[in-house]
Amino acid sequence: MVLDNLAKSLRDTLKKITRSSLIDEKLIDEIVREMQRSLLMADVDVSLTLELTGRVERRAKEEPVPQNSNPRNHLIKIIYEELLKILGKPREFHIKPATVMLVGLYGQGKTTSAGKLAKFYLKHGYKVVLIAADTQRLGAYEQLQQVAQNVGADFFGIYGEKSSLRIVKEGLSRHKDWDVKIIDTSGRNAIDNALTKEITDISNLANPEETILVLDASVGQQAGKQAKAFHDAVKITGVLISKLDGTAKGGGALSAVTATGAPILFIGVGEHMDDLEYFNSARFLSRLLGMGDFETLMAAAKEMQSAFDDESIEKMTKGKFTLKEMYDLWDQMSKPGLFKKLFDSLPLAKMQPKEMDDSFFTDSEDKIRRYKIIMDSMSYYELENPEEIKGSRIDRIAKGAGVDSSEVKGLLRDYKRMKDMVKNLRGNRKILSMMKKQMQGNVPENLEDLANQ
């Protein structure tokens, strides 16, 4: 995954939020500091970072939490929205017949990207020709020819020809019937007059629908300066950020380009011809933040909400707590994994003793399943009056459930323990109100819903 470190640290920050029992100023300050660290490490410009986190802090502290949300979700929503701002609004790229010109400095990934784009168009059933207009670099002709062969596109070049303009003129006139013509142009070490003149001349001649600037993500914030300079020289319609795989500086490149107002159209995420992706800022951010994980968490919260709705809590804490109540509670909680998810995301997690590791939860789930089988062979009277279950009743139940009587005894022991716990809970209104608070507020289906709340 691209921007691994940034992704990990932002996810940790979100996790911290979802696991906090209280969203207070102290937590917000902590979150803001964490975000600053993560963004700076990903090479995002200092003032951009401070602006962003300043907005997060202000909004988190000042904005009232909407009725249909809760402080936790509201904070996550603010973070999501502010991060999205620095990734910019995507420009939708339409796949249709076009002349596409690629520009950029040496080694940025123009030729490779030309092949990737060709493959993109080919997949849509278009007839594609790659035109080799790089007359500067040694071996540029062969490289593009090779790339074209790789992806199955047609190739045009004039070996040894020094005038890129002549190549383009010839190439376009010979391929009038091709849907897509992709022009791979020369780079330079820096934007100079020669490069500016060369690409302006080609642009005037070819009149391309798309002029795409290819920028290597590893140049980081410098990408912004390059984007601006190229835009001044020849009107670019969008940017392709290459090599976003394996560079920690990607955050700098993405945010700096966005800051210039140039839309990012594609990202290159590897050396292979398939390693090209449309850039959609919302989708990119969701993936970065682990929207999948987030959805899981939200789904778990929803399930918890029903397992711990007011009625269940009332039932649990008021009146008699019999085996029947325990059965109902376990019935709701016996969905696979729910136990663990529940403990992970509840504020109670902080009180979670060390021995409650993963095996505790899987063991618990397994145990609940077995206990439910045992309870299924109890009579209604026994479920309501567990203290009456003794002697021959135990043997009868064990036989009915196909278990050893020691397991029935174990169940009764656990029931007594749980009953005591519930008794304690009754006396501890603080935990109870914390649990209730935790369960209140709408749980959104996913991040986008959350953002729309």
Ligand X SMILES: Nc1nc2c(ncn2[C@@H]2O[C@H](COP(=O)(O)OP(=O)(O)O)[C@@H](O)[C@H]2O)c(=O)[nH]1
Could you say whether residue 268 binds ligand X (CB under 6 A)? yes
Contacted entry of Mg ion, ligand X, none for residue 243, CB cut-off 5 to 8 Å set by kind: ligand X
User: Which spans of this chain sit near Mg ion (rule: CB under 5 A)?
Assistant: 110-111
- State the binding string over 387-406 for ligand X (x if CB under 6 A, else -): --------------------
DSSP label of 230: H
Which of the listed partners (Mg ion, ligand X, none) does 269 bind, with a CB threshold of 5 to 8 Å by partner kind? ligand X
What is the DSSP pairing of strand 128-133 with strand 276-278? unpaired
- Asked if 119 interacts with ligand X (CB under 6 A), we say no
Neighbours of 404 (CB within 10 A): 10
Taking the least distance from each CB to Mg ion, the nearer of 111 and 164 is 111
What CA–CA distance (Å, rounded) separates 45 from 24? 28
Please give the Cα distance from 372 to 28 (Å, whole number). Answer: 43
Q: How far is the CB of 260 from ligand X (least distance, A)?
A: 20
Question: In 243-366, at which residue ranges do the beta strands (DSSP E only) sit?
Answer: 264-268, 276-278
249 touches which of ligand X, Mg ion, none (CB within 5 to 8 A by kind)? Answer: none
Residue 242 near ligand X by CB under 6 A: yes
Cβ partners under 8 Å of residue 356, min gap 6? 343
Element (H, E) at 167: helix 164-174
Q: Is residue 243 near ligand X by the rule CB under 6 A?
A: yes
| Residue 271 found at the interface with ligand X (CB under 6 A) | yes
Give CA–CA dist 346/184, Å, rounded: 55
With tokens 């190739």, the residue in question is: 155
Q: How many CB atoms lie within 10 A of CB 423?
A: 12
Residue with smaller CB distance to ligand X, 81 or 275: 275
Residue number with CB closer to ligand X (108 or 364): 108
**At its nearest, how many Å lie between ligand X and the CB of residue 26?**
42
103 DSSP β-pair partners: 213
Q: Which is nearer to ligand X, 140 or 288 (CB)?
A: 140
> Which residue among 49, 69, 73, 108 contacts ligand X (CB under 6 A)?
108
Q: Tell me which amino acid residue 148 is.
A: A
Task: Return the structure tokens found at 136.
Answer: 């500067």
Number of residues this chain uses to bind ligand X (CB under 6 A): 18
Residues 161-220 that bind ligand X (CB under 6 A): 187, 214
Closest CA to 118 of 28, 110, 160: 110
Q: Which is nearer to ligand X, 106 or 343 (CB)?
A: 106
Asked if residue 345 binds ligand X (CB under 6 A), the reply is no
Q: Give the DSSP letter of residue 93.
A: P
Nearer to ligand X by C-beta: 48 or 183? 183
Q: Quick check: 99 binds ligand X (CB under 6 A)?
A: no
CB of 183 to ligand X, least distance (A): 12
